[in-house]
């Protein structure tokens, strides 16, 4: 398979009054043509920052990509000037956002908002762009697109707005679509519809998807591969099956255990004790060590290297070292995998 | 929309009636009378004049009489010049006043918007601080102080522009400038805050994610959304310009309505006081209506009773 997008050892920092916040600390992953990769992790793990770094949408004044490469078809996006980025954004890589209630301009008709990108990237005339916009609305399942194209965002419901946001993102047939928690702000029935729609559209258009979420249910639904992020680093990557049925990192175990299960005997919800690391002063060793029930001395002082479990499965944990004691994943994590 | 307009116009007329009634009775409470100022007149002459203008009748009778004429569009005769109607006086004054007001508003709004947008785009920079310091001074210091300063430095010391009177475009610059300082200050401060707010909105990121240039996102997406709240302050701003122009027209000896208004109060010229007050009130109420209509044009979410909205 061809690597469409590859991140190599990307570091992103924010400069605040309190000091430098190292939000992303050496993230590497790749995305193949037409596949969907999920990035999971809790709030503050760096998943959104990573995706915004790819789009170079982080605020210029307060943040910077300190190291690493973001290779898209051979071009390093991390060093591309703004003008060059404008040709990538929306055309090659586009993005959909979490909250459809606020991510559309309230004073512009949705037709204009869809056509804006088309006219810029594909030099379409007004009527061509309009026709394309109507087709896009039809594609994302909005009834009466000819009429609705002239309406404003406040005339749409939340789910419908997210469809519009998706239509905007797909307007120029991008090669990569980054979906930053696309269903978080929607209610559950609508969530399922939007996920179905995204899966459908991926089949039709062949766009590769990076799905950012903290919802493992969404992952199982849509993704082929998963990267688990914690404390600004990727702690485990693998195929969906590998992550769900054969997780290796204790943080992944924790994530899987904390998924509510319908068939569980106890009504208690499991949580991972403790809080995520302070990225203003990130720990020297493994970021999860402070919350890990299996932490060893080495975990506190040395960052674990990424260890290959299989050709597609890697985890960064000292437990995978041959000198480490054998630890089995907890019962709850295994049940979580048996979906 | 037309039903809404009819309703608004009816409200406007009621408001005008109430203003007319209040002004009429308040005006009658003013000490003095129009013809007592001139020592040369004998009491008999004063009485005759009072009789001629109906000032010997009881106040309520005068009121009914005045309102009756007002409904027919007759504002009466001024006391200052024999046989001249108030309407013709206002007509004479409207040219300079309107020109001055419009010039000040256009200049003030444009400069204010530019300053506000620049301050927001260069947030926490020298431009930002400079614009805001200017805005604070501009809002705090009354326009007649600026008028005096401009007259002294640019008119008297440098002799670049005429100090007073109204005889050509050169004469417009200083009064319009003095009148616009407050507008610039107010608009700049509002626009800066609105722009900062808009620039942080999610849809700005959506626009950038489409690959649209920064300039276009600012002009097409940010400025329009920031203008909506600005329109609400245009109404009160017109009030500021009107009250400002009363003073400015006097300072610069501009033969406008503001000058006539102030003079008419000084000499108890009752019909003129009523006429100018009603004129200013009508202007104000009308500008409020325009603001409300504009609001709907700019913000699709509040287009009134458009039928298929919602």
The size of the A-B interface in CB pairs under 8 A is 79
Q: Give the closest-approach CA distance of B297 to chain A in angstroms.
A: 10
Q: Residues near B67 by Cβ (< 8 Å), separated by ≥ 6? A: B20, B21
Nearest CA in chain B to A117: B210
Q: Give the closest-approach CA distance of B211 to chain A in angstroms.
A: 4
CA distance B80 to B69: 20
**A86 interaction partners in chain B (CB closer than 8 Å):** 211-213
**A102 interaction partners in chain B (CB closer than 8 Å):** 201-203
Count other C-beta atoms under 10 Å from residue B7's C-beta: 11
Contact at CB, A104 and B300, closer than 8 angstroms: no
Tell me, yes or no, if B37 comes closer than 8 A to chain A by beta carbon. Answer: no
> Which residue of B207, B211, B214 is in closest CB contact with A105?
B207
Tell me, yes or no, if B83 comes closer than 8 A to chain A by beta carbon. Answer: no
CA distance B50 to A203: 93
What is the bridge-based pairing of β-strands A93-96 and A3-16? unpaired
Question: Which domains does chain A possess?
Answer: 3-223 (3.40.50.300), 249-337 (no CATH)
> Which residue of A87, A99, A152 is in closest CB contact with B202?
A99
Residue A264 gets which letter from DSSP?
A: -
Contact at CB, B206 and A108, closer than 8 angstroms: no
Instruction: Tokens 């409200």: give the residue.
Output: B11
CA distance A292 to A240: 23
Q: Within 13 A of A169's CA, how many CA atoms are on the CB side? A: 34
For chain A, which residues lie within 8 Å of any Cβ of chain B, measuring from their own Cβ?
55, 57, 82, 86-91, 94-95, 97, 99, 102-109, 113, 116-117, 120-121, 152, 154-155, 165, 168-169, 171
**A168 interaction partners in chain B (CB closer than 8 Å):** 206, 210
> Which residue of B201, B213, B300 is in closest CB contact with A86?
B213
Q: Best mutation site among A54, A96, A105 for testing chain B: the one with the most B CBs within 10 Å?
A: A105
Q: Give the closest-approach CA distance of B188 to chain A in angstroms.
A: 22
Q: Best mutation site among B123, B210, B228 for testing chain A: the one with the most A CBs within 10 Å?
A: B210
Nearest to A208, CA basis, from A53, A22, A31, A10: A31
Contact at CB, B221 and A91, closer than 8 angstroms: no
Contact at CB, B207 and A116, closer than 8 angstroms: yes
**B210 interaction partners in chain A (CB closer than 8 Å):** 89-90, 94, 116-117, 120, 168, 171
Burial B173-197, CB ≥16 within 10 A → b, else e: bbbbbbbbbbbbbbbbbbbbebbbe
Write the burial class of residue B252 (CB in 10 Å: 0-12 exposed, 13-18 middle, 19+ buried): buried
CA distance B307 to B129: 46
Q: Give the closest-approach CA distance of A132 to chain B in angstroms.
A: 16
Report the largest interatomic distance among the alpha carbons of chain A, rounded to a whole angstrom. 67
Q: What residues of chain A score a pLDDT lower than 50? A: 336-339
Contact at CB, B201 and A102, closer than 8 angstroms: yes
CA distance A299 to A327: 15
Assigned token pair, B279: 């004129």
CA distance B60 to B174: 45
For the stretch A61-100, pLDDT in tens is 889 999 999 999 989 999 999 999 999 999 999 999 888 8
CA distance A236 to A91: 30
Contact at CB, B209 and A94, closer than 8 angstroms: yes
DSSP assignment of chain B equals: -HHHHHHHHHHHHHHHHHHHHHHHHHHHHSSS-TTTS-TTS-HHHHHHHHHHTTTTS-HHHHHHHHHHHHHTT---B-SSSTT-BHHHHHHHHHHHHHHHHHHHHHHHHHHHHHHHHHHHHTTTSHHHHHHHHHHHHHHHS-HHHHHHHHIIIIIIIS--S-SS--SSGGGTHHHHHHHHHHHHHHHHHHHHHHHHHHHTSHHHHHHHHTT--HHHIIIIIIHHHHHHHHHHHHHHHHHHHHHHHHHHHHHTT--SHHHHHHHHHHTT-HHHHHHHHHHHHHHHHHHHHHHHHHHHHH-GGG-TT-SS--
Q: Give the closest-approach CA distance of A265 to chain B in angstroms.
A: 42
Nearest CA in chain B to A121: B211
Nearest to A152, CA basis, from B306, B62, B85, B64: B306
Nearest to A289, CA basis, from A256, A234, A250, A321: A250
- Specify the pLDDT at position B159: 87
- Specify the pLDDT at position A338: 45
Tell me, yes or no, if B310 comes closer than 8 A to chain A by beta carbon. Answer: yes
- A255 conformational bin, left if phi > 0, alpha if psi -120 to 50, beta if neither: alpha
Q: Where in chain A does DSSP place strands (E)?
A: 3-16, 19-32, 36-40, 63-72, 75-76, 93-96, 176-180, 208-213, 225-230, 233-239, 306-308, 314-316
Q: Best mutation site among A116, A120, A170 for testing chain B: the one with the most B CBs within 10 Å?
A: A116
> Which residue of A105, A109, A117 is in closest CB contact with B203?
A105
The helix/strand/coil state of A28 is strand
What is the bridge-based pairing of β-strands A36-40 and A208-213? parallel
Question: Which domains does chain B possess?
Answer: 2-71 (no CATH), 93-302 (1.10.3720.10)
Q: Give the closest-approach CA distance of B196 to chain A in angstroms.
A: 14
Q: Which contiguous run of DSSP H or E holds residue A252?
A: helix A250-257
Count other C-beta atoms under 10 Å from residue B88's C-beta: 14
CA distance A307 to A311: 11
Nearest CA in chain B to A167: B210
How far, in Å, are A25, A123, A299, A317 from residue A321 at the CA level? 22, 55, 11, 8
Q: Best mutation site among B198, B203, B215, B222 for testing chain A: the one with the most A CBs within 10 Å?
A: B203
pLDDT in tens, chain B (310 residues): 788 889 999 999 999 999 999 999 999 888 877 776 566 778 888 888 888 888 888 889 999 999 999 888 888 888 888 788 999 989 988 889 989 999 999 999 999 999 999 999 999 899 999 999 999 999 899 888 999 999 999 888 998 888 888 888 889 999 999 999 999 999 999 999 999 999 989 999 999 999 999 899 999 999 989 988 888 888 888 878 888 888 899 999 998 888 888 888 888 888 999 999 999 999 889 888 888 888 878 788 876 544 443 3
Q: Residues near A168 by Cβ (< 8 Å), separated by ≥ 6? A: A94, A96, A113, A114, A117, B206, B210
CA distance A298 to A284: 10
Contact at CB, B206 and A165, closer than 8 angstroms: yes
């Amino acid at each position: 398979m061809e690597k469409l997008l590859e991140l190599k050892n990307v570091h992103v920092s924010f400069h605040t009054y309190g000091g430098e916040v190292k939000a992303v600390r050496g993230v590497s992953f790749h995305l193949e043509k037409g596949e969907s990769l999920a990035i999971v992790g809790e709030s503050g793990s760096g998943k959104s920052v990573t995706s915004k770094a790819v789009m170079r949408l982080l605020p210029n004044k307060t943040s910077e990509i300190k190291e690493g490469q973001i290779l898209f078809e051979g071009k390093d996006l991390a060093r591309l000037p703004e003008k060059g980025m404008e040709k990538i954004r929306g055309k090659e890589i586009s993005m959909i956002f979490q909250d459809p209630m606020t991510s559309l301009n309230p004073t512009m008709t949705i037709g204009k908002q869809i056509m804006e990108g088309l006219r810029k990237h594909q030099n379409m005339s007004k009527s061509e762009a309009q026709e394309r916009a109507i087709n896009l609305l039809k594609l994302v399942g909005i009834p009466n697109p000819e009429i609705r194209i002239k309406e404003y965002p406040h005339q749409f419901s939340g789910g419908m707005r997210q469809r519009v946001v998706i239509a905007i993102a797909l307007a120029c047939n991008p090669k990569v679509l980054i979906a930053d928690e696309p269903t978080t702000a929607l209610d559950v029935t609508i969530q399922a519809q939007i996920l179905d729609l995204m899966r459908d559209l991926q089949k039709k258009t062949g766009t590769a998807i990076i799905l950012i979420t903290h919802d493992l249910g969404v992952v199982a639904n849509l993704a082929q591969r998963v990267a688990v992020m914690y404390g600004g680093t990727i702690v485990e990557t693998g195929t969906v099956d590998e992550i769900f049925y054969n997780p290796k990192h204790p943080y992944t175990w924790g994530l899987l255990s904390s998924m509510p299960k319908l068939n569980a005997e106890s009504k208690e919800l499991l949580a991972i004790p403790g809080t995520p690391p302070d990225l203003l002063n990130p720990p020297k060793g493994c970021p999860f060590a402070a919350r890990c029930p299996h932490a060893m001395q080495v975990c506190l002082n040395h960052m674990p290297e990424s260890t290959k479990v299989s050709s597609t499965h890697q985890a960064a944990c000292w437990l995978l070292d041959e000198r480490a004691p054998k630890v089995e994943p907890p019962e709850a994590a295994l049940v979580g995998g048996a979906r | 929309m037309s039903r809404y307009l009819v309703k608004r116009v009816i409200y406007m007329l009621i408001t005008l009636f109430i203003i007319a009634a209040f002004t009429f009775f308040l005006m009658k409470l003013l000490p003095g009378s129009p013809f007592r100022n001139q020592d040369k007149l004998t009491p008999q002459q004063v009485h005759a004049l009072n009789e001629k203008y109906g000032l010997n009748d009881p106040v309520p009778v005068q009121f009914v009489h005045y309102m009756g004429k007002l409904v027919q569009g007759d504002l009466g005769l001024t006391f200052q010049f024999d046989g001249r109607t108030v309407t013709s006086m206002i007509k004479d004054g409207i040219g300079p006043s309107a020109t001055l007001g419009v010039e000040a508003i256009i200049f003030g709004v444009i400069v204010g918007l530019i300053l506000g947008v620049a301050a927001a785009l260069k947030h926490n920079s020298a431009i930002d601080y400079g614009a805001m310091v200017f805005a604070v001074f501009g809002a705090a210091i009354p326009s007649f102080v600026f008028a005096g300063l401009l007259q002294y430095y640019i008119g008297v010391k440098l002799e670049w522009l005429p100090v007073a009177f109204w005889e050509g475009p050169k004469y417009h610059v200083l009064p319009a400038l003095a009148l616009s300082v407050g507008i610039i200050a107010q608009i700049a401060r509002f626009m800066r805050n609105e722009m900062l707010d808009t620039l942080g909105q999610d849809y700005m990121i959506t626009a950038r994610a489409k690959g649209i240039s920064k300039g276009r996102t600012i002009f097409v997406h940010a400025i329009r959304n920031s203008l909506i709240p600005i329109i609400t302050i245009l109404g009160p701003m017109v009030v500021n310009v009107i009250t400002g122009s009363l003073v400015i027209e006097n300072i610069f000896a501009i033969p406008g309505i503001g000058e006539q208004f102030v003079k008419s109060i000084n000499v108890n010229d009752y019909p003129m006081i009523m006429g100018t007050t009603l004129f200013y009130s009508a202007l104000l109420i009308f500008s409020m209506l325009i603001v409300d209509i504009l609001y709907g044009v700019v913000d699709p979410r509040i287009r009134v009773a458009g039928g298929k909205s919602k």
